[in-house]
Chains A and B, each alone.
Chain A
Amino acid sequence: MRSDLDVDRLLADDGKHVIACCGSGGVGKTTTAAALALRAAERHGRRTVVLTIDPARRLAQSLGMEALDNTPRPVEGPEAGSLDAMMLDMKRTFDDVVASHTTPERAAEIFANPFYEAVSSTFSGTQEYMAMEKLGQLRETGRWDLIVLDTPPSRSALDFLDAPARLARFLDGRVIRLLSASTPGSRRSMLSVMGASAAVFTRVFNKILGGHLLTDVAEFTASLEDTFGGFRRRAEATFRALQDDQTSFLVVATPEPAAINEAMYFSRRLTEERMPLDGMVLNQLTPVRASMSAERCLGAAASLEEGDPDSPVAAVLRTHADLARRRAAEERVAARYGAACPEIPQVWLPKAGAEVVDLAGLRAFAGRAVRRDGED
């Protein structure tokens, strides 16, 4: 097994203030983030907060909480260090951003716009912006020396990196200026700036979207400009901070082709963006204890079954053969990552029998991550 990522050294490094766990959905990002945060607090005495995005109820419970919310709450358990946990509430975070960047009257106006309702709660994509914002807020308080970040369950791990830039592009975009300019009364200025083709554009959009929506959007963007300007600067600053070496990215994957491909794309992007990628966590490997080959076991099982079709020994051998074949297939898939990103240290985590439902489970999870020279 290939396990050359020194997780304990990473967690103990007091030069690191953010650890971001990224990867596609269902690879165990949230569990990994929670387990690493717990270990950082307990073993390395760090003041740690874990920002989860959408934890399963059981994971929230495993941190000793019925439900996590938008405010970090202390987790009972760690004696050294401290651990707080929170769950991103994107609507509330968005509300806070608006409220803190503008006057109460203006904020009330924004909140009342039907389009705000849609952008802040319904539309996907807002989550990434808000995760970035929350990360910035947590850093600013100085209350924690380590923030462990779970990333949104995006269609792609890349969304997390692209969201702030996309927001900036949107706000600087010509389209939005067009829309802002197309509110009643400013039509002429728009035409003079953009020329005749803009008229085509506005007409088409008016037709598609319906007059109402366009007006709502225009008002929304106009009234949000000051708010968003501040927010955008923050998001950009947070994004830049992710590039310094106080941050560590960990890419999380499972040994399945789609998850490994995603991990490879993501790792390449991080390298291109000069983001500090410190390791790959490979979750949910099939644990294999016995060392006999699948082929030998299947052969033996077949001859045992000739004498006794219900041979229990044959059943045991077939179970092992199945596990061994699964594991071999997983390792073939995982090897692709090693070939594509040879310089990235990895840690392989075989699946444990039981799912993580409490702090002990999280401890055991982290324990497997730091065990060296991996036996399963």
Chain B
Amino acid sequence: MIRLRWMSATGPVPRLHVVTGKGGTGKTTAAAALALALAGTGRRVLLAEIEGRQGIAPLFDAAPLPYAERHLAAGLDGGEVFGQAVDADEALLDYLTMFYRLGSAGRVLRRFGAIDFATTIAPGLRDILLTGKLKEAVSRTESGRMAYDAVVLDGPPTGRIVKFLNVTVESGRLAKTGPIGRHSRSVARLLHSSLTAVHLVTTPAAMPVQETIDAHDELEAADLPVGHVILNKVVGSGTVDVTAEQLRDGLARSGLPADEDAVAALLAEYRTGQDEIAAIDAHRDRLERLGRPVDELALLPEGVDLSGLYDLARTLRRSTGGLRRSPLRPGAAPEGVRDAQ
């Protein structure tokens, strides 16, 4: 099992990493970088998305992800990252096959619009199927060892994360009997245990930071395990002061336009940048008061390409203290996970 020093020192190490954030903060990028960082030598990590956006594949310059898990990329030290786009319709059929050996009845269900039923009437049922599928991936064993050392989910945005993770609590309450009820309760146990960590991605701006703090409080109130805060798209620039005079001289010496307009424009940009840095410090302070580790990822000026993604993964690994390994215990499924088999 993989161990990160930054994860809780006591209790089991998280194996399900749910990454959430306000839209536009880069949670897909952060989830992908985290998966690469977790995939150290000999490790297998599953990176899953559930919203049908196909946001992961383009980051890896890969074809759209299928429902079946597929090898996606090499991890940082030669581990493996697998990718998967979990789809509720397929998950329902899977589920039925798994529990009822349905065969042709599955086709009947399709014909009768049962799939529609699942995804229409009860988007909640959809979330039940999706979280159930994740739990299956977390607890699956293959030839005597865990199939994945970690599962990273590019999760729903902060506005819906508690609803999503808590749907099984609701359904466990609604479906008092039957496998869905039982299954829901066992998924709810996993999601509320220290085997799960919900990481919050934010950019250094007031609204995303506020949403992060709100989501943090909601997660805590719902007794869901919060992991790290990832402060994304952090800009860096010089903090030294400069006068218009110095700038004019410097520009002239470099053979660059040194007219008044150029000097004023450059100064305005630089000062805005300095203000931004001051603002980032203030946002970081607020986030640190949550009492969770705060990791920082730099804004990549040209957008995120594959090499940029590996850079971010290295940063995450560095800032989070690197990987500490513990001997692999073959077939050792953590308690509370096994019962999904």
> Considering only CB atoms, which chain A residue lies closest to B127 in the complex?
A124
Check A123 against B122 for contact (C-beta < 8 Å): yes
Q: Does B121 sit within 8 A of A, measured CB to CB?
A: yes
Interface string of B234-247 (1 = CB under 8 A from A): 01011011100011
Give Cα A207–Cα B109 distance, bound, in whole angstroms.
14
Determine the distance from Cα of A54 to Cα of B175 in the docked complex, in whole angstroms.
Answer: 30
Q: Which residues of chain A (206-229) have a CB below 8 Å from chain B? A: 206-213, 216-217
Q: Mark B176-200, 1 if CB is under 8 A from A, else 0.
A: 1111110000000000000000000
Interface residues of B in 161-184 (CB under 8 A from A): 163-164, 167, 170, 173-181
A192-209 to B contact mask, C-beta < 8 Å, 1/0:
001001101100111111
**Structural contact, B121 and A213, CB atoms closer than 8 A:** no
List, in ascending order, chain A residues with CB within 8 A of B170's CB. Answer: 118, 122
Asked if A16 is at the interface of the complex by the 8 Å CB criterion, the answer is no
CB distance from B27 to the nearest CB of A (A): 10
Contact with A along B319-340 (1 / 0, CB 8 A): 0000000000000000000000
Given contacts A155-B52, A318-B237, A320-B266, contact A173 B174 (CB under 8 A): no
Cβ B269 vs Cβ A25 within 8 A = no
Instruction: Tell me the total A-B contact number using a CB cutoff of 8 A.
Output: 233
Q: Which residue of A lies closest to B111 (CB)?
A: A197
Q: Which of B10-18, B74-82, B252-260 lines the interface with chain A?
A: B252-260
Task: Please give, as numbers and ranges, the residues of chain A lying within 8 Å of B205 by CB-CB distance.
Answer: 355
Chain B's closest residue to A178 (CB) is B112
- Shortest Cβ distance from A97 into chain B, in angstroms? 17
Residues of B within 8 A of A234 (CB): none
Check: B262 CB closer than 8 A to any chain A CB.
Answer: yes
The verdict on B289 contacting chain A, using a C-beta distance below 8 Å, is no
Contact A54 B269 (CB under 8 A): no
The reply to whether B265 and A289 contact each other, CB–CB distance below 8 Å, is yes
Q: Report yes or no: A258 in contact with B109, Cβ–Cβ below 8 A.
A: no
Residues of chain B from 107 to 150 with CB closer than 8 A to chain A in the complex? 108-109, 111-114, 116-117, 120-124, 127
Question: By CB atoms of chain A within 10 A, which of B100, B240, B246, B254 has the most?
Answer: B254
Complex partner residue of A25 from B23, B99, B164, B167, CB under 8 angstroms: B23
List 6 additional A-B contacts (Cβ < 8 Å) besides A156-B52, A200-B105, A304-B250: A25-B24, A155-B53, A170-B116, A204-B102, A289-B265, A290-B265
> Are A329 and B302 within 8 A (Cβ)?
yes
Interface size on A, residues (CB 8 A): 82
Contact of B123 among A124, A205, A210, A313 (CB under 8 A): A124
Assuming the contacts A122-B163, A304-B254, asked whether A316 and B96 have C-beta atoms less than 8 A apart, the reply is: no
The answer for the CA separation of A259 and B51 in the assembled complex, in Å, is 14
Closest to B157 in A: A25
B276 CB → nearest A CB, Å: 8
Query: Which residues of chain B from 265 to 288 have a CB within 8 Å of any chain A CB?
Result: 265-270, 272-273, 275-276
If the complex has contacts A155-B51, A166-B120, are A312 and B242 also in contact, measured as CB distance less than 8 A? yes
B317 on the A face (CB < 8 A): no
- Whether B262 and A290, one on each chain, are in contact in the complex, defined by CB atoms closer than 8 angstroms, is yes
- Asked if B178 contacts A207 (CB within 8 A), the reply is yes
Is the pair A296, B256 in contact by a Cβ cutoff of 8 Å? yes
Contact A297 B242 (CB under 8 A): no
* B269 A320 Cβ-Cβ under 8 A: yes
Are B250 and A355 within 8 A (Cβ)? no
CB-defined contacts of A256 to chain B, threshold 8 Å = 24, 303
6 contacts between A and B (CB under 8 A): A169-B120, A201-B109, A210-B178, A304-B250, A329-B303, A353-B276
Taking the nearest CB of chain B, how far is it from the CB of A32, in angstroms?
Answer: 13
Candidates A118, A197, A207, A296; contact of B124 at CB < 8 Å: A118
Q: How far is the CA of A169 from the CA of B52 in the complex (A)?
A: 21
Interface segment out of the listed B1-9, B65-73, B206-214, B219-227: B206-214
- In the complex where A58-B206, A114-B174 touch, is A205 in contact with B114 (Cβ < 8 A)? yes
From residue 285 to 323 of chain A, which have CB atoms closer than 8 A to chain B? Answer: 287-292, 296-297, 300, 303-304, 310-320, 322-323
Within 8 Å of chain A (Cβ to Cβ): is B55?
yes
Query: Contact at B207–A56, with CB atoms within 8 Å?
Result: yes
User: Does the CB pair B116–A169 fall under 8 Å?
Assistant: yes
Question: Which 8 pairs across A and B sit closest by C-beta, in order of nearness?
Answer: A25-B23, A26-B24, A315-B238, A210-B178, A26-B23, A313-B250, A300-B254, A290-B265
